[in-house]
Chain A
Amino acid sequence: LAKTTQPISMDSYEGQEVNITCSHNNIATNDYITWYQQFPSQGPRFIIQGYKTKVTNEVASLFIPADRKSSTLSLPRVSLSDTAVYYCLVGGNNQGGKLIFGQGTELSVKP
């Protein structure tokens, strides 16, 4: 299975844009890249998924370079409520559908 590497933690301030980069050097051709958000005492929540280039939804943007060996989750104008752990996952049907979570990035947003 493709392994992912993300920073363990990041700090930011309210109103700033936050970019969290995930490395996945061994990504397979059919793999998708998915990001989840987890608040304390809650299960993870799907944020965004992409295969290549750029994907944007109402919550975030996902940038994927041509070689797909990394991806960057971009959170515009973060607020205190964006303080959470963010997980990058690589997988899809060729992985047998299994979702493997790494350690995630703990984002702390300060006032």
Chain B
Amino acid sequence: GAGVSQSPSNKVTEKGKDVELRCDPISGHTALYWYRQSLGQGLEFLIYFQGNSAPDKSGLPSDRFSAERTGGSVSTLTIQRTQQEDSAVYLCASGLNRGGNTEAFFGQGTRLTVV
């Protein structure tokens, strides 16, 4: 596809369950970002992948959150033992991020609801 694709678009899960959110970045983009956005709030940085470098995990709120990026392309954000406060829109973005160019392209997000 031409843009960043995220799946599922909506996810309702029970408290305590694990969830996996998927992001397909734009082909060739070496940078991949995950953010979380609660209702009416700004974007909260979670994790950043750049090429083959170790990811910047400094934004992950707890050890229940993890992410991986396989083959430098698709990324999966996993939330274990979900809590109600995890309910938010999870946004993925990709970009080239070189030479100071920080233009990132965002997907439509996954709306996660923990009940």
> Which A residues have a C-beta under 8 Å from some C-beta of B?
30, 32, 34, 42-46, 49, 51, 87, 89, 91-93, 96-104
Contact = CB atoms under 8 A, between A and B. Distances in A.
B97 A101 contact: no
Interface string B80-115: 000000000001010001111111111111000000
A104 B100 CA distance: 22
Contacts, number: 68
Interface of B: 4, 31, 33, 35, 41-43, 45, 48, 50, 56, 58, 91, 93, 97-109
Contact of B102 (A45, A91, A103): A91
B42 A99 contact: no
Given A45-B106, A99-B45, A51 B56 contact: no
B89 to A, nearest CB: 8
Contacts of B50: 96-97
Most chain B beta-carbon neighbours within 10 Å: one of A30, A89, A93, A98: A98
B42 A102 contact: yes
Interface centre among B50, B102, B108 (most CB of A within 10 A): B102
Nearest to A102: B42
